[in-house]
């Protein structure tokens, strides 16, 4: 097998596996009180540097969820966002009493991969400037 062909096969295999492991959660939150004017927020988040399916618990719709919140599993986050917040994935971000997946029920790993990140895409927010402030105050990096 020639060298260019081997490189091409390696690149194709790498791209294919990245798409297979794509894992995103699209979240829509309606205003908390019925009849209260407000803008529904829409975000999508994904974990990077984590094993496949590690997002299962975070995007679960099982159990009691926050009223007005809808979570939808997607292969990837869609385009059309107004901002992106990238931050280090921490144990606190994994802590969730509603966890139901491989990291749920107290089974979260003792250590996370050093390069683990949470990437949140923002589509709608009541206050776009506040979304950026919250991201950066929490240690994240904002981009558009």
> Is there a domain that residue 35 lies in?
yes
> Is there a domain that residue 103 lies in?
yes
> Is there a domain that residue 2 lies in?
no
Per-residue confidence (pLDDT) for residue 23, from 0 to 100: 83
> Is there a domain that residue 96 lies in?
yes
> Is there a domain that residue 28 lies in?
yes
pLDDT tens profile 34-56 = 666 667 899 999 999 988 778 88
Tell me which residue range forms the domain holding 115.
23-143
pLDDT tens profile 96-127 = 433 333 444 444 556 788 899 999 999 999 89
Number of CB atoms found within 10 A of residue 83's CB: 18
pTM, full prediction: 0.72
pLDDT tens profile 1-19 = 444 444 333 333 333 333 3
Q: Which of 105, 24, 103, 25 is nearest to 63 (CA)?
A: 105
What is the average per-residue pLDDT within 68-83? Answer: 93
> Is there a domain that residue 110 lies in?
yes
- Taking 60 as the threshold, does the pLDDT of residue 29 lie above it? yes
Give the pLDDT band (50/70/90) at residue 57.
confident
Rounded to whole angstroms, how far apart are CA atoms 20 and 29? 28
> Is there a domain that residue 1 lies in?
no
Please report which helix (H) or strand (E) contains residue 109, including its range. none
Domain count, the chain: 1
């Amino acid at each position: 097998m020639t060298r260019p062909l081997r490189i091409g096969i390696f690149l194709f295999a790498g791209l294919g596996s990245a798409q297979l492991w794509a894992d995103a959660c699209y979240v829509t939150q309606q205003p908390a009180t019925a009849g209260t004017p407000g803008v529904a927020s829409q975000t999508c988040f994904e974990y990077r540097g984590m094993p496949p399916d590690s997002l299962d618990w975070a995007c679960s719709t099982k159990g009691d969820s926050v009223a007005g919140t809808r979570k939808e599993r997607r292969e990837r986050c869609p385009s059309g966002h107004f901002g992106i917040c990238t931050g280090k994935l921490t144990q606190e971000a994994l802590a969730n009493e509603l966890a139901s997946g491989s990291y749920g029920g107290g089974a979260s790993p003792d250590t996370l991969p050093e390069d683990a990140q949470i990437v949140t895409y923002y589509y709608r927010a009541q206050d776009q400037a506040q979304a950026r402030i919250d991201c950066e105050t929490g240690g994240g990096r904002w981009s558009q």
